[in-house]
Amino acid sequence: MTSDQIFTVFERHSSPSSLPELSLRLLEQQKETWTILAGEYASLGAVKHREVSCEGFSVFLQFNPGRIVSTGAKVDEKSILERRCFLCVQNLPPDQKGILYQGEFLVLCNPAPIFPQHFTISNINHIPQAIEPFVGTFLNLARELGPALTVFYNGPKCGASAPDHMHFQANTSGSIPVERDAADPRRTLVRKRIDDTTVSTLRNYGREVIVLESSIQEKIERIFLKIIKALQEGSRVDFEPMINVLCSYGNGSWRLILFPRRKHRPDAYFREGDAQVMVSPAAVDIGGLMVTPMERDFDRIDARMMEGILDEVSLEKELVDRIVADL
């Protein structure tokens, strides 16, 4: 990493400005100096949205042609090995700069934005995408970026377009529907209170969601790790279970929203020609903002199709209920 690539440095106990302030300044600077990014943000103003009213919940479709690189990304091991990693510092575009966070991560502007503020927070080293070693970082980032921004994580087999390079993303808080739904007491069903942490699920939501809320970092961290272990055992896999997780912080407590998954992409993604449906659900999509780079899909996805996709990629309810009961 060269000093040219560092916009500024954030250190928890010594930075005079907050992380959201610095991130906003970075975004403004990058829009002025990085033409491609400016263009992508300008086209974001023209993306189309449409509400799909499903049984018990709504999902918003976003037609965003700029997302073709991510949605269409080949994430199999061979393709990953053969490509140049786009998150490695030596491969970043010459105009791209980042905020060095705690000497370990770089806060970067995502060049294919979905939100008015969209950041990628990548490790400065090329190390695999994995949540367990970085749960503490995840919670700290949520606290330091909140309440303006929400942090999210996509598992290596479940939506991360760089499964070989550790990264989080951050979005303008409240721009993913589940953020509002998980805060709605009519929607949440409290299943347990363990120490200081509340464990809830969401009613009539068409996919499985586990919500953890706590004001004590060690407690929420412990339960989150316990759930990951239980999901791994329940799914009978020896790698990280498929998950998408959002984490926000406000009024002195964390809210962690976890989507346990059984499939990354629906079968329709792999069909040929007209039958192919170009959606590749990761945290944003399963959170209720389904992004498609194809206008054809934006026009034709109806409630039944949407319910089918969510049900197909979500983990079975019975397994999730058992895991929550055993906590």
Residue in this structure with the two tokens 């189309």, named with its chain if needed: 48
Residue nearest Zn ion, CB atom distance: 85
Question: From the CB of 84, what's the least distance to Zn ion, in Å?
Answer: 9
Number of residues that bind Zn ion (CB under 5 A): 5
Minimum distance from CB of 91 to Zn ion (Å)?
7
Q: Are 155 and 241 in contact (CB under 8 A)?
A: yes
Q: How many CA atoms, within 13 angstroms, populate the side-chain half-sphere of residue 318?
A: 1
Tell me whether residue 128 or residue 250 sits nearer to Zn ion (CB atom). 128
Q: Which is nearer to Zn ion, 162 or 212 (CB)?
A: 162
Q: How far is residue 62 from each of residues 67, 156, 293, 297, measured CA to CA in Å?
A: 10, 24, 8, 10
Query: Please, which residue, 89 or 256, has the CB nearer to Zn ion?
Result: 89
- Region of 40-48, 159-167, 205-213, 258-266 interacting with Zn ion (CB under 5 A): 159-167
DSSP H stretches of helix in the chain: 19-33, 35-44, 68-71, 77-82, 135-145, 177-181, 217-235, 283-286, 295-300, 303-313, 317-325
Write down the least CB distance from residue 113 to Zn ion, Å. Answer: 21
| Residues 6 or more apart in contact with residue 83 via CB below 8 angstroms | none
Q: Build a one-symbol-per-residue string for 70-89: x at contacts with Zn ion by CB under 5 A, - elsewhere.
A: ---------------x-xx-
Minimum distance of Zn ion from residue 121's CB (angstroms)? 14
> 19-31 b/e with 16+ CB inside 10 Å = b?
bbebbeebbeebb
Q: Which two tokens stand for residue 306?
A: 């949407």
| Distance in Å, CB of 68 to Zn ion, minimum | 21
Q: Which is nearer to Zn ion, 39 or 93 (CB)?
A: 93
Q: Does 6 contact Zn ion by CB under 5 A?
A: no
CA distance 303 to 114: 22
Closest separation in Å from C-beta 22 to Zn ion: 23
Looking at the Cβ atoms of 13 and 84, the one nearer to Zn ion is 84
Burial class (CB in 10 A: 0-12, 13-18, 19+), 316: middle
Residue 126 lies near Zn ion (rule: CB under 5 A) = yes
Please select the residue that binds Zn ion; options are 165, 187, 207, 265, rule is CB under 5 A. 165
CB of 108 to Zn ion, least distance (A): 12
Of 129 and 137, the one with the shorter C-beta distance to Zn ion is 129
Name which of 126 and 263 has its Cβ closer to Zn ion. Answer: 126
Residues 114 and 289: beta-carbon distance below 8 Å: yes
Minimum CB separation of residue 160 from Zn ion in Å reads 12
Residues 259-288 that bind Zn ion (CB under 5 A): none
Q: Which is nearer to Zn ion, 90 or 215 (CB)?
A: 90
Q: What is the DSSP letter of 64?
A: -
Report the C-alpha gap between 79 and 192 in whole angstroms. Answer: 43
- Residue 287 has which token pair? 């959170």
Q: Which residues bind Zn ion (CB under 5 A)?
A: 85, 87-88, 126, 165
